[in-house]
Amino acid sequence: MSRRTASPPPHRGASLATRLTWLFALVASLALAVLGAVTLLALNLHFEAQDREVLHAHMQRARSLLARVDNTGALSALPQDLHAAFVTQKDLAVRVQGAYGQPLFEQRSEAQMPAALLARPATAPPVPLRDWREGRHSWRGSAMVMPLPMPGAAPLTVAMALDIGHQQTFVTSLRRALIGYVLLAAAVCALLGGWAVRRGLKPLALMRAQA
């Protein structure tokens, strides 16, 4: 007589309430994560537009100074004029150089203007921005070629950059806070969703128990 082996008990998956709870928490978390990402993107675009406007104003100031260089005396006085114009801008790095890269004026040389920025300066606005990191500082800058009215003078390259370390610190802190809020909201949504699902399914469970 053959011996029959007992079949294993059927595997029961997660209950409907559990699946609905996890689905509710997942959807809510994804929505909050997308909202946080959009917020960070909008903030970065705002900072970039703000920096572009500030750099444009400084470039226009430099252009007005270069437009007065129509003789060798004015050219010799240009570094002092540039220093007087930008010395109060503590977050601004400036480099004015000749056609062969020789520096005529430099402020906050620790910014170390990238060679790629100086090699391909813009000839007219809008001037593209470039971000880089040098040491413990983050920079956002642009470069532009500006002609001199002095006969026979080669145009100068004017490069400027803003120290955006305070922006990066703020964005990093905000990103960490948003991640914490999303995780906390996901936990709260899971708890509230589980309570709402169990409450909603309670009449169905009673009907099945009475059947």
Going by pLDDT thresholds of 50, 70 and 90, the confidence category of residue 20 is confident
End-to-end CA distance of the chain: 41
Q: For 108-156, write each residue's pLDDT tens digit.
A: 999 999 999 999 999 988 899 999 999 889 999 999 999 999 988 999 9
**Token pair listed for 28:** 């809510």
What does the alpha-carbon distance between residue 128 and residue 95 come to, in Å, rounded to a whole number? 17
What does the alpha-carbon distance between residue 205 and residue 29 come to, in Å, rounded to a whole number? 28
Q: Which of 91-105, 155-169, 186-200 has the lowest mean pLDDT?
A: 186-200
- Report the sign of the C-alpha dihedral through residues 68, 70, 71, 76, in that order: positive
- Residue written as token pair 């994560």: 33
Longest dimension (CA), the chain: 119
Higher pLDDT, 33 or 62: 62
Q: Are 92 and 107 in contact (CB under 8 A)?
A: yes
Going by pLDDT thresholds of 50, 70 and 90, the confidence category of residue 198 is low
Q: How far is CA 77 from the centre of its chain?
A: 38
Higher pLDDT, 200 or 107: 107
- The mean per-residue pLDDT over the stretch 52-68 comes to 96
What does the alpha-carbon distance between residue 157 and residue 171 come to, in Å, rounded to a whole number? 32
Mean pLDDT rounded to a whole number for the chain: 86
Q: Which of 6-15, 147-156, 179-188 has the lowest mean pLDDT?
A: 6-15
pLDDT of residue 11: 45
- The mean per-residue pLDDT over the stretch 97-108 comes to 94
pLDDT of residue 1: 46
pLDDT of residue 5: 52
Single-letter amino acid code for the residue at 169: T
Higher pLDDT, 123 or 1: 123
Residue 17 CB partners (closer than 8 Å, separation 6+): 194, 197, 198, 201
Going by pLDDT thresholds of 50, 70 and 90, the confidence category of residue 16 is low
pTM of structure = 0.76
String of DSSP letters for 74-140: HHHHHHHHHHHHHTT-TTEEEEEE-TTS-EEEEE-GGG---HHHHHS-BSSSSPPPEEEEETTEEEE
Going by pLDDT thresholds of 50, 70 and 90, the confidence category of residue 107 is very high
Going by pLDDT thresholds of 50, 70 and 90, the confidence category of residue 13 is very low
State the Rg of the chain over Cα: 32
